[in-house]
Structure 1
C-alpha cells in the first residue's frame, strides 16, 4: 500500500529541512519497517521529503508509532493504555512524555514533543533514541515477538534510570564531595592557624617566659608566616599581568609599526625605481603583523610567569626544608629526654586533657 503524499501540505519549517534531516528521517523510517512497526507496516514512501513530513507532522499514525515504541520499551504501558478510552488520548500523551522523562530523553511533561509540535530535529532525535533503546535491549528477540514469552524489557532501563538518580542524589549530598568542590587546603595544625592568619593569640595561651623554647619556635614560625605573606604580595604578577607589560607592548607596537612603514616605503621605491632593473616580482607584504605582535606579547608574558613560578618553587622548597628540619630536630626540654617540638606539643596536649578530665570528675 502506498501512502498518499498529499494528505497534508508540508509546513514551512518542513520545507526548509536540510539534507541531513531528510537522510535521518529516511533512516528512521527504514528502521521502523525492519522492526515490523505496526503503524508503518505495509506503508510505502520513497521521497525523503514525504517521510520527513510524515514523522515530524502531528497525526494519528505518528502517535501510533510513538505508542508502539513506548509499549515495547515498557510493556506495562500497554495494559494501562488498554484501559483508557478514545477520549482520553491526552492521558496517553502525558504517560509517553513521562516515560521519555524517566529515560532521560526529554524534559518533564514535554507533550509538544509527543504531539509533534516540537522542532523537527528534536522529534527525529527523540524517535532515534527510542529505537536505540529498543534495539540495544538484550531481550530484543523476545521483544519483537519472535518468542511466545514477552517480558518487561524496559524494566531494566527504568531501573537503571532510578539507580543513577539515587546515585547522583547521594553523591551531591555527601559532605566529602562538597569538600572536594570547595577544598580548603591548609596543612597547618589548628593551634597554629591563628599565627598564619595574623590573629592575636589570647594572653592566656602565650608563653609566660620568653626564653622558653616553645615560645621561640612559635616566634620563628611567626616570622616564616610573615615571610610567606610578603612573598605572596611580591609575586602577585603570577596571577595577574607582568608589571610594565603595557609599556613593553606599546614599545613593541611602535617598533613594528615603524618597520611596517619602512617596508611599505621600500616597496614603493622598488616599484617606481628598481623594478625595471630586477627580474623577480614585487615581494608581498605579509598581513600577519598584528598576529606576530600578540604572539610575541603572550610569549613574553609566559616567560616572565615561568621565571616567577621557578623562583616561587625554589623559595617554597627552601622554606619546607627549614620547617622539616625544625620538626625533626630533637632537643632537651628540661626532663632529660630528647624530643621534637611536635612530640612535646602532643605531650602537653595529653597532659592538658588529663587535667581537664580530672577537673570535670
Structure 2
C-alpha cells in the first residue's frame, strides 16, 4: 500500500493529465486514489501509452518518429523516451526501467510530473510568442533551445579570448601603486550612472584614461631604458602599463563594433528553461548534503573505533588484584571459569 503523500501526488498528477486532455484517459473513470496510483505506477500497456503521449507532447518531433515504428518495436519507443529524459536531465540514458514502470512509484510520479512541468512551460512560451510575434526564437521547442544554448556555451568556453580573460598575464597592481599609474583627478570615484545610460559615459572615461596613460608614458622616459643593472620593478611597471593600455584599446574597439548597437535595445526575452536549472540545483544541493552526512558518519565511526581501542588497551583496577587491560581481565576470568 502506498502512503498518503504518494497517493495525493498520484491524484494530483491524474488531474493534471485530465486538464491537458490526455487521450489515454478517455473512457477511464477512476476516483479512488489507490486505483489512480495503480494506473500510473503499475507496469502496463495503458500506462506506457500515457507516458508516450506525455513525451510526444514535451517533444513533438518524437511523435513522427513513433508513427513510423511498428507495434513489435515497443522496446525502441522505450529507449527513445529514456533518451528524451536524459536530454532533459531527468534520468539516465539507459534508464528503461523508469519508462517501463519497474522502479519505485515515487520516482515514476516525479518523472511524469517533471515532464508535465516542461509541457506547461513550453505552452506558456508559445502563448508569449503568439502575443509577441517579433520575439526572436518564438515557436522553438525547449529541447532545440537547450541544444543551441549548449553549442553557444561550448563555443564561448573554447575561445582563446575567454581563456586569456580567465588567466591574464598581468596581475592587478596593489593599492599603493595606483598613484604611480593613474593621476589623482582620475582616482576619484565617479557618481553611479542611471539605468537609462547607454554606456557612452564609460567610453569617455576610458578614452580620458587612455590619453592620461599616453601622457604618463611620455613623462616616464626612464621606463624605456634597458640598462643591465636596472631594478626589477621597472620592467614590471613597463609591462603593466603596456598591457593595460592594450586592454583599454581593445575594449573600446569591441564596444564600438559590437556592443554599442545593443545598448539602446530592449532586454532579451527570458529563457523558459528555469525549472530545469532549478531541478539541477536542487539535485546538486541534495547530493552535497548526502556527501556531508557520509563524511560525518565516517568521522563518528573513526572516533568510536578510537575510543574502543583506547578502552581495550588501557589498564585499570578490576576489583582486587593488579592493574590489567580489559582483554587480560577477560582471559583471566575465562581461565578461572575453566578451573572452576
**TM interval, short-chain normalised:** 0.3 to 0.5
TM superposition score normalised by structure 1: 0.43
> Larger RCO: Structure 1 or Structure 2 (Cα < 8 Å, ≥ 6 residues apart)?
2
TM superposition score normalised by structure 2: 0.46
Which has more radius of gyration? 1
